Amino acid sequence: MRITGERIYLKPFQVSDVNQKLAFQLKNKTFFEGYSMERDERFYTLEEQQALILRLEDFAASDVEYYYGIFLKDTDHLIGTINLFSILRESLQSAFIGYFLDKEHNGNGYATEAVKLMVEFGFDILGLHRIEAGVMPKNERSKQVLLNAGFHLEGLAVKNVRINGIWEDHQVLAIINPGDLNN
């Protein structure tokens, strides 16, 4: 399902996107390493990216993760990724959101637009009640993206995500489905 905004659109990756996805990851490898889990060199191969795209299709079909590319509307150029993951159903109806934006496109509002689009998808299409995010305290820009998208600060999760071999603290932010606020 393609989700269209003012300047960008989100769409699930297809195998035909593998070259563009790999180029995006390689271009931003050093930039992303400061904020992402450890990745071995296999991650940066066409074969692994293709296998990942196929796994992500299965995850979406199983309603456990939705992983989309962020593309510029006017050029169809891939500038980021965004996902809803660890989806919990039954009495929770919640998920986590994560995103990465090409370093060259930071500071232009694309991440905020993408987060708003994905939150709308999560609430209106998936029927989620709550979407949560974790941001390293030093990543002020990402925290601002989430605040601009309507998230609120909830607290600090101490040493909860391993990044580059170090357990890092993360500020916890969340947004509640506005349709559920009066329940």
pLDDT in tens, 60-75: 999 999 999 999 999 9
Give the pLDDT score at 99: 95
The answer to whether 167 and 134 are in contact (CB under 8 A) is no
Give the pLDDT score at 30: 83
The answer to whether 111 and 40 are in contact (CB under 8 A) is no
Backbone angles phi, psi at 2, to 5 degrees: -85, 135
Looking at the structure of the chain, the number of domains it has is 1
Question: Which among 148, 149, 94 has a CA at the least distance from the CA of 117?
Answer: 149
What is the chain's alpha carbon radius of gyration, rounded to the nearest angstrom? 16
Q: What is the pTM of this model?
A: 0.93
Could you tell me how many helices (H) and strands (E) the chain has, helices first? 5, 8
C-alpha–C-alpha distance, residues 139 and 176, integer Å: 23
Task: Tell me the residue range of the domain where 150 lies.
Answer: 3-180
Q: Percent of the chain having pLDDT more than 70?
A: 98
CATH number, domain containing residue 120: 3.40.630.30
Report the Cα–Cα distance between both ends of the chain, in Å, rounded: 29
Residues in the chain with pLDDT values less than 50: none
C-alpha–C-alpha distance, residues 100 and 59, integer Å: 19
C-alpha–C-alpha distance, residues 121 and 136, integer Å: 25
C-alpha–C-alpha distance, residues 171 and 155, integer Å: 6
Give the pLDDT score at 94: 96
In the block, which residue shows the tokens 């990543």? Answer: 139
Give the pLDDT score at 183: 61
C-alpha–C-alpha distance, residues 33 and 30, integer Å: 5
Give the pLDDT score at 38: 76
Give the pLDDT score at 109: 96
Long-range contacts of 144-153, Cβ-Cβ distance < 8 Å, separation of 24 or more: 145/99, 145/111, 145/112, 145/115, 146/115, 146/173, 147/173, 148/112, 149/112, 149/115, 149/116, 149/119, 149/175, 150/116, 150/119, 150/175, 151/175
